[in-house]
C-alpha cells in the first residue's frame, strides 16, 4: 500500500479474514483478463527468464543479472512508445526497495507482460522490507555502483550506477531524495488508516503486554550475543470495553 501511495504501479491488494479467523493477504491477478465467457491468461516472463538466467541465479552476486541488464532490457524490448516511461518506473522501483530495506528485490521480482503483440512492464510485486528480519541476507540483490550492502550505499555509488546506465549525473540521486520525501509524507497517514482498520475488527477485552529489556555489551547468558535485547520483566494491562480505562 505504501508503494501505491508514493506512485509505484502495483496490483490491488487487501486483507480478508478466513472463516477460521486467520488473516489472508490477497493480491488481485494482473495477468488474467476476465470476460463474460472466459478467463484469459496474459503471458508473463520475469526478467531472469527474459534475460536467459536460471532462477537459481536471480541475485547479481550469485551470477545473476545486473540492474543495468534489467534497465537495458526495458529500453530494447518493450513497446517503443512507452519504454522511457517503463524505465522511469523501474528506477522508482529500485529507489523504493532501497528505502524500505527490501534486499530481495531481484530480477525474478520484476516481469514483462505480452499483450496485444506488445511488451510492457508488469506491475511490481513482492515489495516488502527484509531488513527487519535479522537472519535474512543483508546484501542488496543488485550491486549499486561498487557496493551491495545497503548501509554502505551512498551518493558516490548512485553516481557510479548513473554512469553505467548512461543517465544524467545526480538524476538517480535526486529521484531517491524525492521518493524519500513522498515516503515520509505518506507513511504516517497510511499507518494511522491501517491501525484504525485493525482496531475496528478487535473484540474486547483487549490485553496489552509490555516488556522491559536489557541489552548488555558483554553477553550474560549462554547462546546470547552482544547487545541482544533480553526481557527481564513484563506487565499486562486489560481493557474491558472500548471506552474503559486500563
State the burial class of residue 186 (Cβ atoms within 10 Å of its Cβ: 0-12, 13-18, 19+).
middle
Contact 10, 125 (CB under 8 A): yes
Active site residues: 104
Helix (H, G, I), strand (E, B) or coil at 198: helix
Torsion angle in degrees (nearest 10) through CA of 124, 128, 131, 134: -130
Tell me the residue ranges of DSSP E strands in the chain: 13-17, 23-27, 32-34, 39-41, 43-46, 111-115, 118-121, 139-144, 147-149, 206-214, 230-239
- Render the burial of 100-116: b for 16+ CB within 10 Å, e for the rest: bbbbbbbbbbbbbbeee
Amino acid at each position: 500500500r505504501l508503494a501505491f501511495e508514493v506512485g509505484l504501479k502495483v496490483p490491488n491488494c487487501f486483507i480478508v479474514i478466513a472463516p477460521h479467523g486467520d488473516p489472508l493477504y490477497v493480491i488481485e491477478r494482473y495477468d488474467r483478463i476476465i470476460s463474460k465467457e472466459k478467463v484469459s491468461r496474459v503471458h508473463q516472463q520475469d526478467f531472469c527468464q527474459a534475460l536467459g538466467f536460471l532462477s537459481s541465479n536471480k541475485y547479481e552476486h550469485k551470477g545473476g543479472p545486473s540492474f543495468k541488464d534489467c534497465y537495458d532490457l526495458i529500453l530494447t524490448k518493450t513497446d517503443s512508445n512507452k519504454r522511457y516511461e517503463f524505465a522511469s518506473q523501474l528506477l522508482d522501483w529500485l529507489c523504493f526497495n532501497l528505502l524500505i530495506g527490501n534486499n530481495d528485490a531481484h530480477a525474478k521480482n520484476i516481469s514483462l507482460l505480452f499483450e496485444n503483440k506488445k511488451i510492457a512492464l508488469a506491475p511490481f510485486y513482492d515489495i516488502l522490507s527484509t531488513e527487519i528480519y535479522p537472519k535474512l541476507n543483508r546484501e542488496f540483490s543488485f550491486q549499486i555502483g561498487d557496493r551491495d550492502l545497503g548501509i554502505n550505499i551512498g551518493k558516490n555509488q548512485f553516481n557510479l550506477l548513473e554512469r553505467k546506465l548512461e543517465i544524467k549525473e545526480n538524476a538517480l540521486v535526486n529521484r531517491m531524495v524525492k521518493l524519500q520525501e513522498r515516503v515520509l509524507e505518506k507513511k504516517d497517514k497510511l499507518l494511522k488508516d491501517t491501525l484504525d482498520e485493525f482496531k475496528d475488527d478487535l473484540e474486547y477485552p483487549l490485553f496489552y503486554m509490555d516488556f522491559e529489556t536489557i541489552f548488555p555489551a558483554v553477553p550474560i547468558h549462554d547462546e546470547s550475543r552482544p547487545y541482544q535485547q533480553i526481557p527481564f520483566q513484563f506487565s499486562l494491562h486489560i481493557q474491558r470495553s472500548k471506552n474503559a480505562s486500563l
